Structure 1
Amino acid sequence: MTNFISIFPLGVVVYPGEQLNLHVFEPRYKQLAAECLAEKKAFGIPAVIDKKIMEYGTLVTIEKVEKLYDNGEMDLVTRGASVFRTLELISSIPDKLYAGAIVNYPENHEASNTRLLDEVLHGIRELHAILQIHKSFKKEDHLLRSYDLAHHAGLSLNEEYELLHLFYEVQRLEYLKRHLHKVIPMMAEMEKLKERVKLNGHFRNLSSENF
């Protein structure tokens, strides 16, 4: 399917199923949000990286207006729906302050792999333990998908964007697994280094091993 959508470019990557809370304050996006609410339509959030609007983004729906301010600003609760690919950016639309795009929606293959999912979950929990972060997911383990986990794996913005345009769940899990295998040893070494730095200057019990 190909269609026109209003767009709200942001320096974030949004995944399908993800809740994103937005404070809307710019006139163009206040107009966009008001129209989407009135017409019950979704809008697109293409990722902005290095000041450039990227080719892929995520269609989001407005679930709730958390707060409406006297000046028209609003706090919105939105939810990612599907990944889109931009075919054409339309920067000027008659009577509109915001931009739009002609997009299509690549087929997304959701079939998962239990073994891969378990490996990724184990890696994320190991990473969080190293960093002394305590997080719990809102789903049972077997129901989790790569999109639920990606923001918790320590990916850079560019890496999150790379994962966004992988259209097989197994590919996405494999991407996360490879990333975790690379980053966990680095973080473990950093933690050891922190401990060594902390010990510097402190009294320590050291054995001469009878030499």
Structure 2
Amino acid sequence: MSSTTADGIAGWAIHLMEALGAPGAGVAIALENLFPPLPSEVILPLAGFTASKGNMSLFDAVLWTTFGSVAGALALYGVGALLGRERVVAIAAKLPLVDVSDIEKTEAWFARHGRKTVFFGRMIPIFRSLISIPAGVERMPLPVFTLLTTLGSLIWNTAFVMAGYLLGENWSLVEGYMGIVSKVVLGVVVLAVLAFVAIRLAGRNKGGHRVR
């Protein structure tokens, strides 16, 4: 398959890999971390398929995609670190339905479960990009963050690159199955946000009734 026979994200990723080789796969995955709508479920199996065609080694495909994952995560960690707690709290205070206490609860939760969240979060669609920002805000030790991100990304990337390598021309089957998983995760996130808004509005309405 070449960039002339594929379009959309797949065609773009193929073009990068044709132009840069394995580092192109790394660039694509780094951008996927920064822009979650770019699906690693397409890029990673495609890198594996490209390796099966002999255009790059399987080792290089895993190495460079993992490097790209870590690079993208570190960039988002930097965004969180630059924002810092004070700015996040100031922004939250201006948002409707958000209290500073919500930030404090999140901080306490992250202090208890942050390491597990960063590690396992690398294997959850959409969430794997977002988790790097609170890790930066909370200033998780950079060596720890980098190690956990590398290990989690290595597991995720290896699984999907290998799937594409073994499936060959049928690599797109991975995208189909993981597309369902991504939709489920997105649905859960939306429901959680709606539940949060509903609970917050209900609490404020009760408070208003008491004043009267």
TM-score, normalised to structure 2, is: 0.25
Which is helix-richer, 1 or 2?
2
> Bigger relative contact order, structure 1 or 2, given CA contacts below 8 A and separation 6+?
2
Of structures 1 and 2, the larger Rg is shown by 1
Which is strand-richer, 1 or 2?
1
TM-score, normalised to structure 1, is: 0.25
